[in-house]
A = this chain, B = another copy of it.
Protein backbone atom coordinates (compact mmCIF):
# COMPACT_ATOMS: atom_id res chain seq x y z
CA UNK A 1 0.00 0.00 0.00
CA UNK A 2 1.71 3.26 -1.06
CA UNK A 3 2.91 5.56 1.70
CA UNK A 4 3.16 9.32 1.22
CA UNK A 5 5.65 11.48 3.07
CA UNK A 6 5.87 15.26 2.99
CA UNK A 7 8.97 16.68 4.60
CA UNK A 8 12.36 18.26 4.24
CA UNK A 9 15.06 17.38 1.75
CA UNK A 10 18.36 18.69 2.99
CA UNK A 11 22.08 19.02 2.65
CA UNK A 12 23.55 18.37 6.10
CA UNK A 13 26.89 19.29 7.64
CA UNK A 14 27.53 17.00 10.58
CA UNK A 15 30.30 17.19 13.15
CA UNK A 16 30.94 14.46 15.72
CA UNK A 17 33.72 14.33 18.33
CA UNK A 18 35.83 12.23 15.96
CA UNK A 19 34.70 12.98 12.41
CA UNK A 20 32.77 15.32 10.13
CA UNK A 21 30.93 15.40 6.81
CA UNK A 22 29.90 18.38 4.68
CA UNK A 23 26.88 18.65 2.39
CA UNK A 24 25.67 15.08 2.77
CA UNK A 25 22.17 13.95 1.86
CA UNK A 26 19.68 14.49 4.68
CA UNK A 27 16.25 15.79 5.60
CA UNK A 28 13.24 14.20 7.25
CA UNK A 29 11.55 13.08 4.03
CA UNK A 30 14.80 11.53 2.77
CA UNK A 31 15.57 9.46 5.88
CA UNK A 32 11.91 8.53 6.23
CA UNK A 33 11.54 7.43 2.61
CA UNK A 34 14.73 5.45 2.46
CA UNK A 35 13.86 3.60 5.68
CA UNK A 36 10.26 2.99 4.61
CA UNK A 37 11.36 1.72 1.18
CA UNK A 38 12.53 -1.54 2.80
CA UNK A 39 8.88 -2.23 3.62
CA UNK A 40 6.54 -0.60 1.12
CA UNK A 41 6.20 1.69 -1.88
CA UNK A 42 6.94 5.30 -0.98
CA UNK A 43 6.07 8.61 -2.59
CA UNK A 44 7.89 11.75 -1.51
CA UNK A 45 6.92 15.40 -1.57
CA UNK A 46 9.55 18.05 -0.93
CA UNK A 47 11.45 20.95 -2.40
CA UNK A 48 15.06 21.51 -3.40
CA UNK A 49 17.03 24.38 -4.91
CA UNK A 50 19.18 24.80 -7.97
CA UNK A 51 22.18 23.45 -6.04
CA UNK A 52 20.59 20.01 -5.63
CA UNK A 53 22.88 17.21 -6.85
CA UNK A 54 20.87 14.94 -9.15
CA UNK A 55 22.72 11.86 -7.92
CA UNK A 56 20.79 12.13 -4.64
CA UNK A 57 17.50 11.78 -6.48
CA UNK A 58 18.96 8.88 -8.42
CA UNK A 59 19.92 7.16 -5.16
CA UNK A 60 16.32 7.41 -3.93
CA UNK A 61 14.98 6.19 -7.27
CA UNK A 62 17.18 3.13 -7.13
CA UNK A 63 15.23 2.13 -3.99
CA UNK A 64 12.03 2.50 -5.99
CA UNK A 65 11.00 5.70 -4.21
CA UNK A 66 8.69 7.91 -6.26
CA UNK A 67 10.47 11.28 -6.25
CA UNK A 68 8.22 12.99 -8.79
CA UNK A 69 6.87 15.09 -5.91
CA UNK A 70 10.28 16.70 -5.30
CA UNK A 71 10.06 20.17 -6.77
CA UNK A 72 13.22 21.96 -7.89
CA UNK A 73 12.68 25.68 -7.39
CA UNK A 74 14.54 28.03 -9.70
CA UNK A 75 16.61 30.75 -8.05
CA UNK A 76 16.48 29.00 -4.67
CA UNK A 77 18.90 26.94 -2.62
CA UNK A 78 18.27 23.64 -0.85
CA UNK A 79 17.56 23.59 2.90
CA UNK A 80 20.80 23.30 4.89
CA UNK A 81 21.47 22.23 8.47
CA UNK A 82 24.76 22.11 10.34
CA UNK A 83 24.93 20.33 13.68
CA UNK A 84 27.48 19.14 16.18
CA UNK A 85 27.12 16.11 18.44
CA UNK A 86 28.31 16.16 22.03
CA UNK A 87 30.65 13.39 23.24
CA UNK A 88 27.69 11.30 24.45
CA UNK A 89 26.54 11.13 20.78
CA UNK A 90 22.93 11.57 21.91
CA UNK A 91 22.71 15.34 22.46
CA UNK A 92 23.54 17.83 19.73
CA UNK A 93 23.62 21.53 19.03
CA UNK A 94 22.40 23.14 15.85
CA UNK A 95 25.10 25.46 14.55
CA UNK A 96 23.41 26.76 11.41
CA UNK A 97 20.02 26.46 9.75
CA UNK A 98 19.26 27.93 6.35
CA UNK A 99 15.64 27.31 5.45
CA UNK A 100 16.24 28.57 1.89
CA UNK A 101 13.67 26.93 -0.41
CA UNK A 102 11.60 25.73 2.58
CA UNK A 103 10.82 29.30 3.59
CA UNK A 104 7.94 29.64 1.15
CA UNK A 105 7.33 26.01 0.15
CA UNK A 106 3.68 25.03 -0.03
CA UNK A 107 3.33 21.34 -0.86
CA UNK A 108 0.94 20.48 -3.67
CA UNK A 109 -0.50 16.95 -3.85
CA UNK A 110 -1.41 15.49 -7.22
CA UNK A 111 -4.11 12.87 -7.75
CA UNK A 112 -1.75 9.97 -6.99
CA UNK A 113 -0.58 11.62 -3.77
CA UNK A 114 -4.13 12.37 -2.66
CA UNK A 115 -5.08 8.72 -2.95
CA UNK A 116 -2.31 7.42 -0.67
CA UNK A 117 -3.86 5.68 2.32
CA UNK A 118 -0.86 6.18 4.61
CA UNK A 119 0.51 9.66 5.20
CA UNK A 120 3.45 10.92 7.22
CA UNK A 121 3.83 14.63 7.83
CA UNK A 122 7.50 15.24 8.54
CA UNK A 123 8.44 18.09 10.83
CA UNK A 124 7.24 21.38 9.29
CA UNK A 125 5.14 24.29 10.47
CA UNK A 126 1.71 23.09 11.59
CA UNK A 127 0.20 25.51 9.06
CA UNK A 128 1.94 23.68 6.23
CA UNK A 129 1.10 20.30 7.73
CA UNK A 130 -2.58 21.30 7.90
CA UNK A 131 -2.51 22.37 4.23
CA UNK A 132 -1.24 18.90 3.31
CA UNK A 133 -3.86 17.25 5.49
CA UNK A 134 -6.59 19.27 3.71
CA UNK A 135 -5.45 17.85 0.38
CA UNK A 136 -4.84 14.23 1.47
CA UNK A 137 -8.42 13.09 1.03
CA UNK A 138 -7.59 9.40 0.72
CA UNK A 139 -5.45 9.15 3.85
CA UNK A 140 -6.71 6.59 6.36
CA UNK A 141 -3.74 6.77 8.70
CA UNK A 142 -2.13 10.18 9.23
CA UNK A 143 0.90 10.58 11.48
CA UNK A 144 2.80 13.82 12.11
CA UNK A 145 6.13 14.81 13.59
CA UNK A 146 6.74 18.23 15.14
CA UNK A 147 9.45 20.17 17.01
CA UNK A 148 9.98 22.61 19.89
CA UNK A 149 9.91 25.65 17.57
CA UNK A 150 6.26 25.04 16.60
CA UNK A 151 5.27 24.20 20.16
CA UNK A 152 6.63 27.60 21.14
CA UNK A 153 5.40 29.80 18.27
CA UNK A 154 2.45 28.04 16.55
CA UNK A 155 0.69 26.41 19.47
CA UNK A 156 -2.82 27.06 18.14
CA UNK A 157 -2.16 25.58 14.71
CA UNK A 158 -0.38 22.66 16.35
CA UNK A 159 -3.43 22.15 18.53
CA UNK A 160 -5.65 21.96 15.45
CA UNK A 161 -3.22 19.53 13.82
CA UNK A 162 -3.30 17.30 16.91
CA UNK A 163 -7.07 17.14 16.80
CA UNK A 164 -6.93 16.01 13.17
CA UNK A 165 -4.08 13.47 12.93
CA UNK A 166 -4.24 9.84 14.06
CA UNK A 167 -0.72 9.73 15.46
CA UNK A 168 2.00 12.06 16.67
CA UNK A 169 5.71 11.23 16.83
CA UNK A 170 7.94 13.58 18.84
CA UNK A 171 11.09 13.71 20.96
CA UNK A 172 11.11 13.34 24.73
CA UNK A 173 12.11 16.98 25.32
CA UNK A 174 9.33 18.10 22.96
CA UNK A 175 6.76 15.94 24.73
CA UNK A 176 7.77 17.46 28.07
CA UNK A 177 7.53 20.97 26.61
CA UNK A 178 4.17 20.35 24.96
CA UNK A 179 2.64 18.76 28.06
CA UNK A 180 4.39 21.02 30.56
CA UNK A 181 5.31 17.91 32.56
CA UNK A 182 8.77 16.46 33.24
CA UNK A 183 7.42 12.93 33.75
CA UNK A 184 7.30 11.22 30.34
CA UNK A 185 4.50 8.82 31.26
CA UNK A 186 2.22 11.66 32.28
CA UNK A 187 3.45 13.82 29.36
CA UNK A 188 2.65 11.09 26.83
CA UNK A 189 -0.88 10.64 28.13
CA UNK A 190 -1.37 14.42 28.23
CA UNK A 191 -0.29 14.85 24.59
CA UNK A 192 -2.57 12.02 23.53
CA UNK A 193 -5.44 13.76 25.29
CA UNK A 194 -4.81 16.71 22.94
CA UNK A 195 -6.26 14.69 20.07
CA UNK A 196 -4.20 11.97 18.39
CA UNK A 197 -5.25 8.35 18.83
CA UNK A 198 -1.67 7.46 19.61
CA UNK A 199 1.56 9.21 20.56
CA UNK A 200 5.09 7.91 20.12
CA UNK A 201 7.82 9.58 22.18
CA UNK A 202 11.31 9.11 20.75
CA UNK A 203 14.03 8.95 23.40
CA UNK A 204 17.11 8.71 21.17
CA UNK A 205 19.56 6.14 22.51
CA UNK A 206 16.96 5.18 25.12
CA UNK A 207 14.30 3.98 22.68
CA UNK A 208 10.67 4.95 22.37
CA UNK A 209 7.40 5.03 24.30
CA UNK A 210 3.92 4.39 22.96
CA UNK A 211 0.63 5.78 24.26
CA UNK A 212 -2.91 5.01 23.15
CA UNK A 213 -6.19 4.99 25.03
CA UNK A 214 -5.72 1.43 26.27
CA UNK A 215 -1.99 0.87 25.96
CA UNK A 216 1.28 2.31 27.19
CA UNK A 217 4.62 0.68 26.65
CA UNK A 218 8.29 1.39 26.25
CA UNK A 219 10.76 -0.16 23.82
CA UNK A 220 14.50 0.27 24.36
CA UNK A 221 16.78 1.28 21.52
CA UNK A 222 18.63 -1.59 19.89
CA UNK A 223 22.06 -1.35 21.52
CA UNK A 224 24.80 -0.77 18.97
CA UNK A 225 28.52 -0.47 19.67
CA UNK A 226 29.04 1.74 16.66
CA UNK A 227 27.36 5.14 16.69
CA UNK A 228 28.95 7.34 14.05
CA UNK A 229 26.12 9.80 13.33
CA UNK A 230 22.66 9.83 14.94
CA UNK A 231 21.29 12.30 12.35
CA UNK A 232 18.11 10.93 10.79
CA UNK A 233 17.59 8.26 13.45
CA UNK A 234 14.19 9.68 14.41
CA UNK A 235 13.01 9.95 10.80
CA UNK A 236 14.27 6.45 9.94
CA UNK A 237 12.45 5.20 13.02
CA UNK A 238 9.23 6.77 11.72
CA UNK A 239 9.99 5.42 8.23
CA UNK A 240 10.46 1.85 9.46
CA UNK A 241 7.32 2.13 11.55
CA UNK A 242 5.06 3.60 8.86
CA UNK A 243 6.60 1.43 6.16
CA UNK A 244 5.67 -1.71 8.07
CA UNK A 245 2.11 -0.45 8.68
CA UNK A 246 1.67 0.47 5.02
CA UNK A 247 2.95 -2.98 4.03
CA UNK A 248 0.47 -4.67 6.37
CA UNK A 249 -2.31 -2.29 5.30
CA UNK A 250 -3.57 -2.08 8.89
CA UNK A 251 -2.79 -0.26 12.12
CA UNK A 252 -4.35 -2.18 14.99
CA UNK A 253 -2.53 -2.43 18.34
CA UNK A 254 -0.51 -5.49 17.37
CA UNK A 255 0.54 -4.01 14.03
CA UNK A 256 1.57 -0.77 15.74
CA UNK A 257 3.74 -2.56 18.29
CA UNK A 258 5.54 -4.59 15.66
CA UNK A 259 5.89 -1.42 13.61
CA UNK A 260 7.57 0.36 16.52
CA UNK A 261 10.02 -2.53 16.83
CA UNK A 262 10.84 -2.26 13.12
CA UNK A 263 11.31 1.48 13.62
CA UNK A 264 13.78 0.86 16.47
CA UNK A 265 15.75 -1.64 14.41
CA UNK A 266 15.82 0.53 11.29
CA UNK A 267 17.10 3.53 13.27
CA UNK A 268 19.81 1.38 14.85
CA UNK A 269 21.33 0.88 11.38
CA UNK A 270 21.05 4.56 10.45
CA UNK A 271 23.26 5.70 13.35
CA UNK A 272 26.05 3.29 12.37
CA UNK A 273 27.31 5.65 9.66
CA UNK A 274 26.83 9.15 8.26
CA UNK A 275 23.83 10.14 6.14
CA UNK A 276 22.27 7.11 4.41
CA UNK A 277 25.61 5.29 4.13
CA UNK A 278 24.73 2.41 6.45
CA UNK A 279 21.19 1.95 5.11
CA UNK A 280 22.59 1.81 1.59
CA UNK A 281 24.57 -1.28 2.56
CA UNK A 282 21.74 -3.34 4.05
CA UNK A 283 18.79 -5.33 2.80
CA UNK A 284 15.38 -6.17 4.22
CA UNK A 285 16.93 -9.43 5.40
CA UNK A 286 19.32 -7.53 7.70
CA UNK A 287 16.38 -5.67 9.24
CA UNK A 288 14.48 -8.91 9.83
CA UNK A 289 17.53 -10.56 11.31
CA UNK A 290 18.14 -7.71 13.76
CA UNK A 291 14.43 -7.68 14.60
CA UNK A 292 14.69 -11.34 15.59
CA UNK A 293 17.66 -10.59 17.86
CA UNK A 294 15.77 -7.63 19.34
CA UNK A 295 12.69 -9.77 19.98
CA UNK A 296 14.78 -12.40 21.75
CA UNK A 297 16.59 -9.71 23.74
CA UNK A 298 13.28 -8.51 25.20
CA UNK A 299 11.91 -11.95 26.06
CA UNK A 300 12.54 -13.41 29.49
Q: A206-B203, A216-B223 are in contact. Are A183 and B89 (CB under 8 A)?
A: yes
* A183 adjacent to B225 (CB under 8 Å): yes
Looking at A34-42, A231-239, A292-300, the stretch in contact with chain B turns out to be: A292-300
Residue of B nearest to A184 (CB): B223
* A261 adjacent to B300 (CB under 8 Å): yes
* B182 adjacent to A87 (CB under 8 Å): yes
Copies of this protein in the complex: 2
Cβ of A88 < 8 Å from any Cβ of B?
A: yes
Distance from A77 Cβ to chain B, minimum over Cβ atoms (Å): 35
* Complex Cα gap A183–B206 (Å): 13
* Complex Cα gap A259–B185 (Å): 25
Count A interface residues, CB 8 Å: 35
* A299 adjacent to B297 (CB under 8 Å): no
Residue of B nearest to A227 (CB): B183
Q: A87-B182, A206-B206 are in contact. Are A257 and B219 (CB under 8 A)?
A: no
Q: A203-B206, A206-B203, A209-B223 are in contact. Are A217 and B182 (CB under 8 A)?
A: no
* A218 adjacent to B297 (CB under 8 Å): yes
* Complex Cα gap A130–B160 (Å): 62
Considering the complex, which residues of chain A in the window 64-121 have a beta carbon less than 8 Å from any beta carbon of chain B?
Answer: 87-89
Which A residues are within 8 Å of any B CB, using their own CB?
87-89, 182-186, 189, 203, 205-207, 209, 216-221, 223-227, 254, 257-258, 260-261, 295, 297-300
Smallest CB-CB A-B distances: 8 pairs: A298-B298, A185-B225, A206-B206, A217-B297, A257-B300, A218-B220, A220-B220, A185-B223
A-B contact pairs, 9 of them (CB 8 A): A183-B226, A185-B223, A206-B207, A217-B297, A218-B297, A220-B220, A295-B300, A298-B299, A299-B299
Known: A89-B183, A189-B225. 17 other contacts (CB 8 A): A183-B225, A183-B226, A184-B223, A185-B225, A203-B206, A206-B206, A206-B220, A216-B223, A217-B297, A217-B298, A218-B220, A218-B297, A219-B298, A295-B300, A298-B298, A298-B299, A299-B299
